[in-house]
Amino acid sequence: MTYLASYVNARTDHTATIWDYTFNRRNWQSYLKEKFETDKPDVIAITYTTLYQRYVEASIKYIRGSLSKDVPIVIGGVHPTLKPEEGFMDGVNAVIIGEGEPAFHELLDATAGGNSYEGIKGLWYKPNGEIIKNAPRGWIKDINELPWPNYDLWDDIDKYLYYLQQLWLVGTRGCPYICTNCEEVQMYRLLPNSGDSPSGIAGTAKRFRFRDPKDYAEEIAWHYDKYKDRGMRMAHPFDPVFPIQRKWTFDFCKAYTDVGLSDKLPVSIFSRADCFYAQAPVKGVFDEERLIALKEAGIKEIRVGIESGSERMRNDIHKKGVTNEQCLTLFELCRKHGVQTIAYNMLGGPTETKAELKETFRFNVKLKPNKPIFFVYQTLTHDLAEMGLVDQDYNIGLAATEQADQWTGDSTRDDTDQGTIQFGEPLASPHFSKNWLIAFQYFCYSYFIAIRVGKGIWRQKHRFFINFGTTMYRGYKEGLNMKIVFAYWLSASGDNLFT
């Protein structure tokens, strides 16, 4: 959304603002009404993923019922890109498929000129109750053409920096892997080449694209100059496989050092456990030189998707293609070179058993990450049954199991899920109940949180309790989800950010 609004402001004759409910959960309707009356929008654009569809529906219902029946509402994002028909909720006028910058540019031009949306590639629209499907548009060919995102468009950017102390950045788009727990498996071959367009942006079928590393480093320096006195203490590139290309990684490390940030602004990156084997000088051998270059350039933390301690789950179901040995090697070498680690795990995936869940816990004990995270596996836009991974949709049908009377039978959010740490209902399973899985997740967190709190008290002494009380009190006063505030405080606030 930040990229889209920044593009509109920098490259078109139109003006964009961003509305954000994060710090307005208690009064989101009055917040939305105030923003609508202040900005007087000609178009409202909403982006979302599958987990948040019910909130989008509620927002659109409020807009149409209380604010305007006429202002065009345009939907985009991962879910409507993969399932455009589902994007046409009551009150929606158009759905953008794929990256939004060029199509939204042309839609705004058409709206301002009172023209039809006919012929805008990558756009479906519904003028008279019937969905008109325009031709597809490819992914943006050269993402270096896009302007840097302007985070000042977020009214609450200073609050984000207070709780997170880091800014999220993007130097790549797409991912070359086809893990089934990610929507990239469907996005990868979704769109064709589409050539030039009125927006001036050419389209390509190539999904995975890199920015120029020098330009990326210069952008981070630009943000740091803006936000270093407002709470920015870390840069967090949101690139899923940051170090996968060896030359690009070394070029970025040099550029980041050249802009003078290697000893000023630490960086936290995402990586697969096998990224350091890709393009390694010796085939099949971990590229330790690449890890050392990252450390010397200021990369303080590496975030790794472990997903499961079971190789069957990780590789046969999630299609990760990463061995336990590769995971252990990465974490061991990160400890050797003083690079912190975060391990991401998923609990309750399709066909997963209790024994495999316990294996995940034991594997994390062996990995010794600085910050292990245990999510409950969530529904995806694509259907695992259609992909041949399970015999049926794992979200439904437990009539033949002893747990059928304990299960909700779906994996959608309910009103109480906002206050939990699983972020939605677990998938139905014949191997365990919903309550057992949530209890197991709490057990995993409790074990590692106890260790982290103990180390925090030992290192920080009284500062640990002062920072805790200050952060939690502010979160309460601002009406935030206190479990989320606690999670971010323990992982990213104050002295906890670098330990």
DSSP per residue, 192-258: ---B--TTS--EES---EE--HHHHHHHHHHHHHHHTTTT--EEEE--TTTT-SHHHHHHHHHHHHH
- Range list for CATH 3.40.50.280 in the chain: 2-137
Amino acid at residue number 310? S
Amino acid at 249: T
For the chain, where do the domains classified as CATH 3.80.30.20 start and end?
147-198+208-498
Could you tell me if 107 and 170 are in contact, meaning their C-beta atoms sit under 8 angstroms apart?
Answer: no
> 206-238: buried (b, 16+ CB within 10 Å) or exposed (e) per residue?
ebbbbbbbeebbebbbebbeebeeebbbbbbbe
- Both tokens assigned to 497: 């950010």
The neighbouring-strand residues paired with 346 are 375
284: DSSP letter: T
- Closest CA relative to residue 393, chosen from 427, 424, 437, 425: 427
* Topology of the domain covering 2-137: Rossmann fold (3.40.50)
Provide block-wise average pLDDT over 10 residues at a time, the chain (499 residues): 96 97 90 97 94 90 96 95 94 96 97 96 94 93 95 96 95 90 79 66 80 98 97 96 96 98 97 96 97 98 98 94 97 98 95 96 98 88 65 36 36 46 72 92 95 93 94 92 90 83
pTM across the whole model:
0.91
CA-based nearest residue to 203, from 117, 95, 109, 120 = 120
Residue 388 has a pLDDT of 63
Give the closest residue to 348 by CA, choosing from 426, 440, 411, 413: 426
pLDDT reported for residue 240: 95
Assigned superfamily of 147-198+208-498: tm_1862 like domain (3.80.30.20)
